[in-house]
Amino acid sequence: MRRRTLSRLTIAAVSLALLAALSPAAGASTPAHHPVPDESAYKRVGYFTQWGVYGRDFQVKDLDTSGTAAKLTHINYAFGNVNADGECFTGNVPGEADAWADYVRPLDAAGSVDGVADTADQPLAGNFNQLRELKAKHPGLKVMISLGGWGWSTHFSDAARTPASRKALVASCLDLYIKGNLPADGARGGAGAAAGLFDGIDIDWEWPGSAGDTDTVYRPEDKRNFTALVREFRTQLDAYAKTRKDRRKHYELTAFVPTAPAKIDAGFEVRKIMRDLDFVNLQGYDFHGSWETTTAQQSALFARNDFSVDQTVRDWLRRGAPARKLVVGMPFYGQGWTGVTGGGDGLGRPATGPAPATWANGSEDYEALKKLADSGRFTVHRDRLNGHAWLFDGTTLWTYDDPRVLWTKSVYVRAKGLGGAMFWSLDGDTPDGELITAVDRGLGHR
């Protein structure tokens, strides 16, 4: 216990020292910090959601106009799906795949990164073409295809069961995304239509060896099969790189991994997978949420006898993960409850259910929570020692990360020598990129 307390005090001291060093003098303007994405920089990995272009109207161009793209090293495109035959696929299948959003949907000049409208005969449109334009405008920015996610991890266990099925899965994913051979959809798609867009694969299998979504299959042997799947991805990515003109090209391989020790031990041979993965994105949120009947923190930096960012980092380090390959997940949304009783600041109190929200009850984007905080109806509470914040109006509570919390977490990443920060998801930030800016200033360069 004393060791953890000293660690918190150390982080607090480092935070204060860095704050003094990084804060501009009174009256001085703060220069924009645009890191050069290279191997010496901290990773700044943001998930871009395929479906965000609809209701939220969050477009790839918004990453440019908000200044976010200049502060990122990686964009993870969420998500690619695996079908019952154990292959990566796309198409227009409600709830399963959305080729329209990915590469078919035309954008006009006002909605395009380069200010040029899509034409009817170009093979690549939609989000994929906009990401290609974004990369052209921000050299060094990498785009990864993220496979699975909570809802689309259904068939991973089946696809990873045998050497033959793993080879087939990986080959199909490389063909579709790395080689860019998209199914034809009118004038869109075709052989090589998306070639050169994706710089690697992010495996978001939730979860090998333990329960995930209701229809997601899992087995005890998933643990060794996940290791073998990672190895197969690494082998085929490296082999493909050797066929390219620029043989120095390295296709990155990453994974999203859990916070719960039981899930780590059930599904991950940590030392083995870390040899083949460039880095892992640690789950740094959803420690608690509106599926529970008592309010609690969802993303605290430290917590006593509870999940926390620090606990997650230490658990992965203890199991053999290199610190430089651990990228800390940070939420751009909050978890909320309503019907909170018991008084006080609302934390640790009984609640009747998920708080009403814009898109799904119990979960709200930071942009909306900021408006609640500024409305005067809610009080902002902070646990400065443990590094988290929440809003409470006497009945409704939202646990979330604001710029002050994310800046402190970024300082923690630096103090611990970790790999960087990951964000779920970019569409939750404000139009001027308030959250990404806080992390960017906190991280600086190695």
Catalytic residue ranges: 206
Amino acid at site 26: A
Between the CA of residue 9 and those of 12, 22, 309, 369, what are the distances in Å? Answer: 5, 20, 16, 29
Are 407 and 442 contacting, i.e. CB atoms less than 8 angstroms apart?
A: yes
What distance in Å separates the CA atoms of residue 14 and residue 8, rounded to the nearest whole number? Answer: 10
Neighbours of 236 (CB within 10 A): 19
Q: Any residues with CB less than 8 A from the CB of 414 and at least 6 apart, and which?
A: 14, 18, 42, 442, 443, 444
What residues form DSSP beta bridges with 314?
none
What distance in Å separates the CA atoms of residue 357 and residue 237, rounded to the nearest whole number? Answer: 41
Between the CA of residue 423 and those of 48, 428, 440, what are the distances in Å? Answer: 9, 9, 12
Between the CA of residue 193 and those of 137, 189, 334, what are the distances in Å? Answer: 20, 5, 38
